[in-house]
Amino acid sequence: MALTSPVTGAAQTGFTSPTYTLTADRFPGPNGVQYAVSALGGTQVGATANSAAAPFLVSVERPVSLKTQKISAAGIVYSPGRNRHRIATRKGMVAVTAQPALEGICETFIAVPVGAETVSPAEIRAMLSAHIGVLTQYASALGDQMASGVVTA
C-alpha cells in the first residue's frame, strides 16, 4: 500500500486544513507497511510530528498467511474463518504535565470471511466505503468526545 503524501486530515475542532506529511518507515514485520508523520500542515496548535520521544506512526498490515477455503473429505467446501487486516495510528501524547509521552492508539480491524474476496468483492468495498464514510463524517465529533468524555452523536 502506497499512500500519497501529504494526507489530508479529517475535520477536528480547532484544526484548520490539517495535513500530514508521510515518510516511509520500517514496519516491524514482513506483512505490512509503516509511515512516520514527519511534518504537520494547516493549523494544529499543540500537535506535533513524529519524534523518538513521541511517535506518530501509521501502519497497515495484512495477515501473515492468508487463509483459503478448505474442502472436507466429503467434498464440502467450508470457510476456515476470516482474514484479518489492521490499520493502526500510534501517537505519542503527554498525559501528565512534565512527564514523558505515552502512546495513544487508534486501530481499525477488518475481518473478511474467507472466500468473500472472490465471491463478493463489491460487498467488501461497500462495507469499507460505509465504515470510512462514517468515520469521516463523525471525525470532529469523535475528537470532541475523546477530549470531553461526552458522546455527542
CATH code of residue 51: 3.30.380
Confidence grade of residue 78 (pLDDT, cut at 50, 70, 90): confident
Please tell me the total number of residues recorded for the chain in this structure: 153
Within a domain: 36: yes
pLDDT for 134:
84
Within a domain: 52: yes
- Count the neighbouring beta carbons within 10 Å of the beta carbon of residue 18: 19
Confidence grade of residue 153 (pLDDT, cut at 50, 70, 90): low
CB 58 within 8 A of CB 34: yes
Within a domain: 42: yes
pLDDT for 106:
95
Within a domain: 2: no
CA distance 45 to 137: 22
In this predicted structure, the answer to whether residue 107 has a pLDDT above a threshold of 90 is yes
Within a domain: 117: yes
Identify the burial level of 20 via C-beta atoms within 10 angstroms of its C-beta, where 0-12 means exposed, 13-18 middle and 19 or more buried. Answer: buried
Domain hosting 27: range is: 7-64+79-148
Within a domain: 16: yes
Number of domains present in the structure of the chain: 1
Within a domain: 83: yes
Could you tell me the CA-to-CA distances from 24 to 58, 98, 125 in Å, in that order? 10, 30, 26
